[in-house]
C-alpha cells in the first residue's frame, strides 16, 4: 500500500520540525567536544552547589538542610573552652530588624539587653561582687572582658574564669545571658603601676593601646539584640545596686556617672572620699585655643598641671545635698562608668587610637559621638567608687 503525503502538510509542518531536530543534534554534538576552565568537559562540569558542597536551593528536598539544634552537645560547654566548636550549617540564616530594637527609659520592663564591657588588667574580687549585686535581670545582661597577654593578665583570667564558671553553672536564674572573655593579641595595654600609668609622659601611648582594646572588645561582642552598652572599669568596686535602671531611666545617648574614691584621711583621722576621674568635662575656650596651637599628632590631656585647660570638671560639681538625678552637659567622658545607647556605637562612634580633634580614647569617643549629633551628659551627684589605692 503506497503512502501519499500531502505536499502542503509536508512543507508546513514536517520539514520545519525535522530541521529543528537536526540543529539540536549538531549543537549537542559540538558541546560534547567543547571544554571550559582550561580543559574540563562541559559534560563533566558541576554547578556551584555540587562543587562547593553548599546549598542554594532550600526549597528543594534534595538540598534542604536539617534543622539546627541549639542544645549543648557536650557537658564541657563553657565558652572559654577552646576545644569546643559549634559549627552552624551554611544555609542557616538569621533575620534581624534593628529598626525594632529599642533603648528606652523603661529598659527592664521592655526587656532591653545590656552589654557590660570591661578591659581588665587586674581582677578585683570587689569588682565582681559589685557586679553580682546589680538588680537588673541577669537574663538581659551580657558581659564582655578583654585581658592583655601579660603576667598580671594571666593571673586575672584564671581568677575571672573561676568566678564565671561558678556563676554560670549555678541555678539558671542566676546566670548571665552570655559572657565573653578575649585575650588581646594586638598591642596590649601595659602593666604599669597605679602611679606610673597616670604619668603624663606615657598617656598617649597607653591610651592609644587602651583604645585598641576597647574597640576590639566592642566589635567582638555587640550583637543584634544589644540595646545598651555599659562601660565599666575593672577598678569600679562600689555602685548602687540599681545602677543600670538608674542610668537607663535618663534615656540619654551617652551618660557618665561621677567616679569617686574612698580613702583614709590622715588629717581627719577617718574614712573620707575624693574625686577620682577627671575625664568627664565640659569644653572651655582655653582648651579650644590650646587645640588650635597644637600640631596634628598632639593631644590634650585633662587633669595635669602642665596642661591647664580650665575645663569645668564634673568631679568637682558633686553636691552631696543635691538630687542624684541632676545632670550637666559634657564634651568629654571617661570609661569608668559610662552608659551608651548601642545605636551610638552602631552609627560609628568608636574609640580613636589616634588624635581626633586632639583627643584620644574615651574623650575622643565623646567628640566623635557629638560630631554624629549625639548629646553627652553627666550625673555629677550620682557616685560610683574606684578601688582604694
Local confidence band at 10 (pLDDT 50, 70, 90 cut-offs): low
Cα angle 21-27-29, degrees, rounded to a multiple of 5: 100
For residue 70, what is the DSSP state?
-
Q: Three-class SS string for 264-300?
A: EECCCCEEEEEECCCCCECCCHHHHHHHHHCCCCCCC
For residue 347, what is the DSSP state?
T
Separation of CA 233 from chain center: 15
Local confidence band at 94 (pLDDT 50, 70, 90 cut-offs): confident
pLDDT recorded at residue 203: 81
Helix (H) or strand (E) holding 162: helix 151-168
| Cβ proximity of 53 and 60 under 8 Å | no
Ranges of beta strands (E only) in 73-140 are 113-119
Separation of CA 154 from chain center: 23
| Cβ proximity of 167 and 132 under 8 Å | yes
CA 249 to each of CA 104, 252, 324: distance values in angstroms, whole numbers, following the listed order? 8, 8, 12
Ranges 43-57, 154-168, 325-339, 366-380: which has the least confidence: 43-57
Residue 334 lies in a domain: yes
Enumerate the H helices of 294-338 as residue ranges. Answer: none
Residue 272 lies in a domain: yes
Handedness of CA 207, 208, 209, 211 (dihedral sign): positive
Residue 2 lies in a domain: no
Ranges 83-92, 142-151, 298-307, 339-348: which has the least confidence: 83-92
Residue 303 lies in a domain: yes
Domain limits at 152?
Answer: 103-386
Q: Is residue 39 scored above 50 in pLDDT?
A: no
CA 151 to each of CA 14, 148, 156, 192, 238: distance values in angstroms, whole numbers, following the listed order? 90, 9, 9, 12, 26
Report, as an integer, the average pLDDT of 196-210.
Answer: 76
Please count the other Cβ atoms lying within 10 Å of the Cβ belonging to residue 314: 27
For residue 304, the number of C-alpha atoms closer than 13 Å in the C-beta half-sphere is 13
Whole-number Å distance between alpha carbons of 310 and 287? 7
Residue 377 lies in a domain: yes
Residue 28 lies in a domain: no
Local confidence band at 301 (pLDDT 50, 70, 90 cut-offs): confident
Residue 98 lies in a domain: no
Q: Three-class SS string for 39-83?
A: CEEHHHCCCHHHHCCCCCCCCCHHHCCCCCCCCCCCCCCCCCCCC
Average pLDDT over the chain, rounded to an integer:
83
CATH number at residue 308: 3.90.550.10
Local confidence band at 30 (pLDDT 50, 70, 90 cut-offs): low
Does the predicted model carry a pTM greater than 0.85?
no
For residue 340, the number of C-alpha atoms closer than 13 Å in the C-beta half-sphere is 32
For residue 241, the number of C-alpha atoms closer than 13 Å in the C-beta half-sphere is 6
Residue 201's Cβ-count burial label (10 Å; 0-12, 13-18, 19+) is: exposed
Q: Compare 14 and 32 and report the one with higher pLDDT.
A: 14
Handedness of CA 262, 266, 269, 275 (dihedral sign): negative
Q: Among 368, 337, 195, which Cα is nearest to 260's? A: 337
- β-partners of residue 188 are none
Report, as an integer, the average pLDDT of 267-293.
Answer: 94
| Cβ proximity of 349 and 341 under 8 Å | no
Helix (H) or strand (E) holding 3: none
Q: Among 103, 116, 107, which Cα is nearest to 146's? A: 116
| Cβ proximity of 298 and 270 under 8 Å | no
Q: Is residue 170 scored above 60 in pLDDT?
A: yes
**Cell of residue 338, nine digits:** 559610662
Whole-number Å distance between alpha carbons of 115 and 130? 16
Please tell me the total count of domains within the chain: 1
pLDDT recorded at residue 302: 81
Q: Is residue 198 scored above 80 in pLDDT?
A: no
pLDDT tens-digit map of 104-149: 999 999 999 999 999 999 999 999 999 999 999 999 999 999 999 9
- Helices 203-221, 361-371: inter-axial angle, 10-degree rounding: 60
Amino acid at each position: 500500500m503506497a503512502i501519499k503525503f500531502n505536499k502542503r502538510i509536508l512543507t508546513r509542518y514536517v520539514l520545519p520540525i525535522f530541521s529543528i531536530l537536526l540543529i539540536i543534534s549538531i549543537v549537542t554534538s559540538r558541546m560534547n567536544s567543547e571544554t571550559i576552565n582550561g580543559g574540563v568537559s562541559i559534560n563533566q562540569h558541576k554547578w556551584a552547589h555540587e562543587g562547593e558542597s553548599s546549598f542554594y536551593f532550600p526549597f528543594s528536598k534534595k538540598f534542604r538542610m536539617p534543622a539546627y539544634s541549639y542544645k549543648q552537645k557536650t557537658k564541657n560547654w563553657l565558652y572559654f573552652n577552646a576545644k569546643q566548636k559549634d559549627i552552624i550549617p551554611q544555609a542557616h540564616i538569621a533575620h534581624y530588624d534593628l529598626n525594632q530594637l529599642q533603648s528606652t527609659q523603661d529598659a527592664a520592663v521592655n526587656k532591653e539587653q545590656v552589654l557590660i564591657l570591661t578591659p581588665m588588667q587586674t581582677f578585683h574580687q570587689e569588682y565582681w561582687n559589685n557586679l553580682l549585686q546589680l538588680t537588673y535581670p541577669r537574663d538581659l545582661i551580657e558581659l564582655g572582658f578583654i585581658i592583655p597577654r601579660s603576667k598580671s593578665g594571666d593571673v586575672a583570667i584564671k581568677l575571672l574564669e573561676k568566678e564565671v564558671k561558678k556563676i554560670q553553672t549555678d541555678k539558671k536564674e542566676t546566670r548571665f545571658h552570655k559572657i565573653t572573655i578575649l585575650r588581646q593579641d594586638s598591642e596590649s595595654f601595659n602593666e604599669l603601676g597605679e602611679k606610673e600609668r597616670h604619668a603624663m609622659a606615657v598617656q598617649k601611648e597607653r591610651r592609644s593601646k587602651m583604645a585598641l582594646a576597647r574597640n576590639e572588645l566592642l566589635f567582638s561582642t555587640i550583637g543584634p539584640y544589644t540595646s545598651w552598652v555599659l562601660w565599666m572599669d575593672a577598678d569600679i568596686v562600689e555602685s548602687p545596686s540599681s545602677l543600670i535602671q538608674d542610668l537607663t531611666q535618663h534615656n540619654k545617648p551617652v551618660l557618665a556617672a561621677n567616679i569617686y574614691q574612698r580613702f583614709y584621711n590622715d588629717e581627719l583621722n577617718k574614712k573620707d572620699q575624693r574625686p577620682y576621674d577627671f575625664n568627664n568635662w565640659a569644653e572651655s575656650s582655653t582648651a579650644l585655643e590650646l587645640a588650635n596651637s597644637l600640631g596634628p599628632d598632639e593631644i590634650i590631656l585633662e587633669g595635669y598641671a602642665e596642661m591647664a585647660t580650665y575645663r569645668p570638671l564634673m568631679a568637682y560639681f558633686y553636691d552631696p545635698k543635691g538630687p542624684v538625678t541632676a545632670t550637666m552637659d559634657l564634651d568629654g567622658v571617661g570609661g569608668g562608668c559610662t552608659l551608651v545607647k548601642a545605636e551610638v556605637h552602631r552609627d560609628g562612634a568608636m574609640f580613636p587610637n589616634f588624635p581626633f580633634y586632639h583627643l584620644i580614647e574615651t574623650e575622643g569617643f565623646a567628640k566623635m559621638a557629638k560630631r554624629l549629633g549625639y548629646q553627652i551628659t553627666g550625673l555629677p551627684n550620682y557616685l560610683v567608687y574606684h578601688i582604694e589605692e
